[in-house]
């Protein structure tokens, strides 16, 4: 065989060998790609299957929520009126009045009263109940009570007190004066009276308080006690 | 004979490099796709797993319906016991 034929044969073999090498590797890579795509397609299929009922479920939830919002908006406007309703909404959620009510297009043009600046949030929650709320108990048949001057005390009266003594169980202020039904005698010591109306002597004799033998305070001690600040003034002298 | 040598030279200098270059490009491109496809498969599997909680939407739907029903009952009661606004 001539030398040129041998070289040609080697060149052809080299070309075929290169073809085989690259094509086999390409086939292997494509096989890997195919397997990966099969796995991806399976995952996407699961996603499609799992998200299939989501649209209907979310649509149903939104429909019910829309119905609830419409009913509550209508009820609020019906009971409180559009202006007060917007004031209540803006008091509970500042800035919400600017968006207006969804079912009441005119609500965006309402001049919102500053109910939130007068009452606390808890009071507003009670006020949403309408005229039956304690905030409006004074005028069950009229407009809600909204006193900007005494709003703080009105609001605080709605919260429970630890003593539960406001206002019914609070002791009444004593009636004073010369024509008072109960006459109090002046005292020498703050908080100690010689006699209380309807009772026996309050000023205990020395030795009966458990400190037997303890002498009465010296005059200078009395002077020191009486010069304390703030001065303890007997109640009857305050008026 | 001279033509044989010319053919050999053409085969070795031109055809073989062209074949190698082209097939190498195809192989590199195919091998570059493999990591991307594996990542796509992994993400698809993870996404499918994340959607396992989608079945709870049915419970959410029922609870929303129950809640709205309760609110509607409450609103109906308020509508009965409270006076309407004067302008209503």
Q: What is the pLDDT of residues A69-104, one digit of tens each?
A: 898 888 888 888 888 888 888 887 888 888 888 888
Let me know: does A22 contact B26? Beta carbons within 8 Å: yes
CB contact under 8 A, B61 and A57: yes
Q: What is the mean pLDDT of chain A?
A: 72
| B84 has a chain A CB within 8 A of its CB | yes
Residue-level pLDDT at A227: 47
- Cα dist. B40→A33, B34, B45 in Å? 11, 10, 9
Compute the average pLDDT of residues A47-55: 90
As a whole number, mean pLDDT of residues A56-78 equals 90
User: Measured between beta carbons, which residues in chain A are less than 8 angstroms from residue B55?
Assistant: 50
Interchain CB distance below 8 Å, B19 and A32: no
Q: Report pLDDT for A164.
A: 53
CA distances from residue A113 to A29, A49, A87, A104, A146 in whole angstroms, order as listed: 72, 52, 5, 17, 11
Answer whether residue B85 shows pLDDT above 70. Answer: yes
Provide the 10 A C-beta neighbour count for residue A177: 9
Scanning B14-43 for CB atoms below 8 A from A yields 15-16, 19-20, 23-24, 26-27, 30-31, 33-34, 37-38, 40-41, 43
How high is the pLDDT of residue A194?
A: 67
Report which of residues A211 and A27 the model is more confident about: A27
Q: Quickly count: other Cβ atoms within 10 Å of residue B26's Cβ.
A: 15
For chain B, say whether A25 makes contact (Cβ under 8 Å).
yes
Average pLDDT on A39-59 reads 91
Q: Could you report the per-residue pLDDT of B32-64, keeping only the tens digit for each?
A: 999 999 999 999 999 999 998 888 898 999 999
For residues A136 and A130, the answer to whether their CB atoms sit within 8 Å is yes
CA–CA gap between residue A30 and residue A24 (Å, rounded): 10
Please tell me which of the candidates B23, B30, B34 has its beta carbon nearest to residue A18.
B23
Q: What are residue A225's phi and psi, to 5 degrees?
A: -65, -40
Q: Average pLDDT of B2-23?
A: 90
């Amino acid at each position: 065989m001539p030398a040129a034929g041998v070289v040609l044969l080697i060149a052809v073999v080299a070309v075929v060998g290169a073809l085989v090498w690259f094509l086999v590797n390409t086939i292997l890579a494509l096989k890997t790609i195919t397997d990966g795509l099969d796995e991806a397609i399976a995952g996407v299929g699961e996603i499609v299957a799992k998200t299939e009922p989501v649209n209907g479920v979310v649509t149903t939830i939104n429909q019910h929520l829309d119905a609830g919002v419409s009913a509550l908006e209508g009820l609020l406007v019906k009971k409180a009126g559009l202006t007060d309703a917007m004031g209540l909404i803006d008091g509970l959620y500042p800035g919400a009045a600017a968006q207006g009510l969804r079912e009441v297009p005119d609500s965006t043009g309402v001049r919102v009263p500053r109910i939130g600046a007068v009452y606390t949030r808890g009071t507003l929650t009670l006020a949403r109940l309408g005229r039956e709320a304690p905030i409006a108990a004074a005028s069950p048949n009229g407009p809600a009570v909204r006193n900007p001057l005494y709003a703080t005390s009105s609001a605080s009266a709605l919260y429970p007190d630890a003593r539960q003594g406001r206002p019914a169980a609070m002791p009444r202020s004593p009636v004073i004066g010369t024509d008072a039904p109960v006459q109090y005698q002046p005292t020498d010591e703050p908080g100690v009276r010689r006699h209380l109306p309807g009772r026996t002597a309050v000023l205990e004799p020395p030795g009966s308080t458990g400190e037997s033998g303890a002498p009465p305070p010296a005059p200078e001690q009395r002077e020191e006690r009486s010069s304390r600040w703030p001065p303890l003034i007997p109640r009857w002298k305050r008026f | 004979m001279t033509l044989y040598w010319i053919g050999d030279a053409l085969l070795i200098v031109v055809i073989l490099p062209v074949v190698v270059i082209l097939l190498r490009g195809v192989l590199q491109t195919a091998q570059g796709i493999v990591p991307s496809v594996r990542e796509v498969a992994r993400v698809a599997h993870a996404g499918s797993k994340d959607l396992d909680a989608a079945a709870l939407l049915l419970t959410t739907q029922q609870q929303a319906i129950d809640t709205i029903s309760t609110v509607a009952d409450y609103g109906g009661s308020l509508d009965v016991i409270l006076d309407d606004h004067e302008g209503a």
